[in-house]
Structure 1
Amino acid sequence: MGDPLWEALATAQAGLLSHRQLRGLGVSRGEIRNHVRVGRWAVRSSEVVSTTTGPLSREQMLWLGVLHGGPSAMVGGLSAAEVHGLKRWEREEITILVSNPMSFDPVEGFRFFRTRRPFKRLIAPGELPACRLEPAVLLFAAHEPHLRTALGAVTATVQQRLTTAEKLTDWLDQLTPLRRSRHVRELLGDVSGGAHSMAEVDLRKACREYGVQPPRSQRPRNDSRGRRRYTDAEWLLDDGRTLVLEVDGSFHDDVAQATLDRRRNRQLTTATRVVVQCSAWEIRHEPWEVMQDLIALGVPTVEG
């Protein structure tokens, strides 16, 4: 015989229930053990059971984490960013933000991260308790061991149009003090200027360091076939021509992709528009080589 109270709650939580919730609904430990014993429910952690017995979906795993973490737990970090739609930054390990002293049992596949910041300010609207995108990715950036990965995640949220540099800057102020805030603030300045990837951020940094005029980024152009394209970086030269620099990431090393890139560059080239290429690796590790070549091609310097 079904119980409408726990059934409705289980439906809202993708089939997951905590012992605390069940006690609040008057379901005894004996009843829980009986559901598990006859195969209707399954034990998922020391604090959580599921009303399904098969493998857990990604949504169910997220619910498992927040229910295990307690009433003030929420999905955080890149896991929260995934909930908000961030692509290509997924992690197998799920991050859960908690405010309690974390005296509960660890769960494989989850990272429980304690924060003293006000949960009411951090939590996003919705059934699943998840951190708002901006503080989630900024807190990730503050604690990620590798700075470049940290900044790359922040850039990706803007590149994928999930937020803006202005909103991130506002949250950066709200989260003060925050580790790496200076690096993130500098990054957001570049992103506000039009950079859409870490390679473009590196390019702008190199331009500042070597006195080269900063480029215009993501300019819409029609190629020779009439297709709309967006260029990585452009400079207007003294002779009236436009120099376009396309910065290729590692995926461009694929033969098929490299062929498409060269074809695209040919089709973008006109009598007044010259297209050249460099790799993201060069911009990061040998920026002086790229800067010298750009100056030789007529790109203005800041002094000029």
Structure 2
Amino acid sequence: MEESIESFAELRRWQAGAFSREQAIAHGITDRVLHGHCRARQLQRVHPGVYADFTGPLPWQTRMWAALLACGPGAALTGATALRMYGIAGDWDDRIHVAVPHSRRVGRRSGVVISRHRDLSSLMHSSREPPAVRLEVAVLIAAGAEKDVSRRAAVLFDACRQRRTTPVRLLGELDLLPALPGRRVIRRILAEAAEGV
């Protein structure tokens, strides 16, 4: 039992204090204990079935992990959140952007933007923790989320200017996102940038 408690503590450290009800139960913690700790203000409920092992304001890392846990297995950070995680400087939205497999229905979560993607696994970084889409996919999704053409271009060029990707690599990933908003405009911007226009 002590080993289980220690491994649960390590899991919580890895996930910035966030954990799911299922993870707690797998480590021998009952619903009754969870509710007792919440009532005693030793834990806080972040989303249904997801908790933080502290009270008070939630740091970005904790909110990020809590959103992933709330969205279930196969979920991945995407868009502005993934760009922030990858260290791309920008004026990013503070909400947590999470992609889930197209077949999954996830209810609304406070502070979380959920998008559904077909064949999400093909868009994901193969070894990233926490799970996230590849950098180029995140750039394209963040650009597609912008309504203004100049803002779309700024997202694309900022990632390239910071030498994290290139217009050619972004063009290569664009074909994997057939439903991306503004796809034709993004393709034109990237093609011109790749040609040095």
TM-score when normalising by structure 1: 0.58
The change in CA–CA distance for 1:176 and 1:111 in structure 2 (over 3 A counts) is closer
- In structure 2, what residue type is equivalent to 1:68? A
Residue in 2 that maps onto 1:190 = 192
Post-superposition CA distance 1:184-214 (Å, at most 9, x none): 22211232244xxxxxxxxx5xxxxxxxxxx
In 2, Cα distance between equivalents of 1:4 and 1:152: 46
In 2, Cα distance between equivalents of 1:131 and 1:178: 14
Residue-pair matches, total:
194
2:174 to 172, 175, 178: 172
Matched-pair contact (CA < 8 Å) for 1:89–1:153? no
Matched-pair contact (CA < 8 Å) for 2:79–2:138? yes
Residue in 2 that maps onto 1:221 = none
Residue in 2 that maps onto 1:102 = 105
Matched-pair contact (CA < 8 Å) for 2:20–2:49? yes
Residue in 2 that maps onto 1:224 = none
Q: Which runs of 5+ in 1 are unaligned?
A: 195-203, 205-304
SS of the aligned residue for 2:24 comes to helix
Residue in 1 that maps onto 2:55 = 53
Post-superposition CA distance 1:78-109 (Å, at most 9, x none): 111111111123112221111253343x2222
1:90 correspondence with 2:65: no
Matched-pair contact (CA < 8 Å) for 1:12–1:127? no
Alpha-carbon shift at residue 42 of structure 1 (Å) = 1.4
Residue in 2 that maps onto 1:214 = none
- In structure 2, what residue type is equivalent to 1:44? V
The change in CA–CA distance for 1:117 and 1:151 in structure 2 (over 3 A counts) is farther
Post-superposition CA distance 1:55-86 (Å, at most 9, x none): 11111111111111111211111111111111
User: In terms of Rg, which structure is larger?
Assistant: 1
In 2, Cα distance between equivalents of 1:138 and 1:166: 12
Residue in 1 that maps onto 2:83 = 81
The change in CA–CA distance for 1:121 and 1:103 in structure 2 (over 3 A counts) is closer
Q: Over aligned residues, Cα RMSD in angstroms?
A: 2.2
Matched-pair contact (CA < 8 Å) for 2:46–2:66? yes
- In structure 2, what residue type is equivalent to 1:180? G
Alpha-carbon shift at residue 171 of structure 1 (Å) = 0.7
* Aligned sequence identity (%): 27
Deviates more, 1:176-185 or 1:2-11: 176-185
- In structure 1, what residue type is equivalent to 2:27? L
The change in CA–CA distance for 1:127 and 1:109 in structure 2 (over 3 A counts) is same
In 2, Cα distance between equivalents of 1:16 and 1:192: 42
Alpha-carbon shift at residue 48 of structure 1 (Å) = 0.8
Matched-pair contact (CA < 8 Å) for 1:169–1:188? yes
The change in CA–CA distance for 1:23 and 1:120 in structure 2 (over 3 A counts) is farther
- In structure 1, what residue type is equivalent to 2:66? L
TM-score when normalising by structure 2: 0.86
Matched-pair contact (CA < 8 Å) for 2:76–2:124? no
Q: Which runs of 5+ in 2 are unaligned?
A: none
Alpha-carbon shift at residue 113 of structure 1 (Å) = 1.4
Residue in 2 that maps onto 1:28 = 30
Residue in 1 that maps onto 2:151 = 149
Alpha-carbon shift at residue 150 of structure 1 (Å) = 2.1
